[in-house]
Structure 1
Amino acid sequence: MHPNRIWNCDETSFNMEHTPVKVYADKGEKSVVSKAQSSNLTVMACASAGGDCMPPMFITKGKTPRSVHGYRTEDAPEGSVWTYQKKGWISDEIGEQWFEQVFLKCCGPARPQLLLMDGHGSHETLAIIERVIEENIILMVSPPAPPLIVHIIFNPKIVLSSVRSNLHTTKPAHLFLMRILCIR
Structure 2
Amino acid sequence: MPSRNHLDKIGRKKKKKWSEEAMERALIEVKSGRCTVRQAAKEFGVPKSSLGDRVSGRVTPGSRSGPAQLITSADEELLVEFSLYMSKHGFPLTKQQVVSFASSIYKRQHRRVAFSKLGQTWWLNFRKRQERNITIQPADNVVRGRTACVRKEAVDQFFCLLSTVMDAHGLRDKPRQIYNCHETGFHLGRKRGHVPKPAGLGCKPAPGSRDHVSILACFNAAGDDVPPFVIYSRAYPGGVCYKTQGPTNALYGWSDSACVNSDLFKKWFLKHFLTHAPKERPLLLVFDGHKSPVSLEVVESARRENVILLCFPPHCSHILQPLDAGLFVVLKQRLASVTGEGCAADAHFAISKKDFSGVFKRAYQVAKEEEGLRIVREGFKKCGLYPLNHFAINGGNSMPSHGIGPTAGTSLSISAQTMHAVGELTAAEASS
User: TM-score range with shorter-chain normalisation?
Assistant: 0.5 to 0.7
| Aligned match of 1:84 | 254
1:15 correspondence with 2:187: yes
Inter-partner Cα distance in structure 2 for 1:54 and 1:132: 16
| Aligned match of 2:273 | 103
What is the Cα deviation at residue 91 of structure 1?
0.8
Unaligned runs of 5+ residues in structure 1 are 21-35, 151-169
Pairing 1:162-173 to 2, within 5 Å after superposition: 172=411
What secondary structure does 1:79 align onto? coil
| Aligned match of 1:38 | 210
Identity within the alignment, % = 26
Pairing 1:48-59 to 2, within 5 Å after superposition: 48-59=220-231
| Residue number among 280, 288, 295 corresponding to 1:125 in the alignment | 295
| Aligned match of 1:68 | 237
- Structure that is richer in strand per residue: 1
| Aligned match of 2:127 | none
Higher relative contact order (CA 8 A, sep 6+): 2
Inter-partner Cα distance in structure 1 for 2:317 and 2:257: 28
The 8 Å contact of residues 94 and 122 in structure 1, kept in 2 or not, is answered as no
What is the Cα deviation at residue 102 of structure 1?
1.6
| TM-score normalised over the length of structure 2 | 0.30
Q: 1:82 to 1:122 in 2, by over 3 A?
A: farther
The 8 Å contact of residues 288 and 317 in structure 2, kept in 1 or not, is answered as no
Inter-partner Cα distance in structure 2 for 1:60 and 1:110: 32
Inter-partner Cα distance in structure 2 for 1:122 and 1:86: 17
| TM-score normalised over the length of structure 1 | 0.66
| Aligned match of 1:161 | none
Unaligned runs of 5+ residues in structure 2 are 1-170, 193-207, 321-408, 426-432
Q: Which amino acid aligns with 1:8?
A: N
Q: Which amino acid aligns with 1:129?
A: V
| Aligned match of 1:143 | 313
**RMSD of aligned C-alpha atoms?**
3.3
Aligned residues: 144
Q: 1:112 to 1:171 in 2, by over 3 A?
A: farther
What is the Cα deviation at residue 130 of structure 1?
1.2
Moved >4 Å (runs of 4+):
181-184
Which of 1 and 2 has greater Rg? 2
The superposition leaves residues 55-99 of structure 1 with CA deviations (integer Å, 9 ceiling, x where unpaired) of 000110114xxx233773323211001111112111100010110
- Structure that is richer in helix per residue: 2
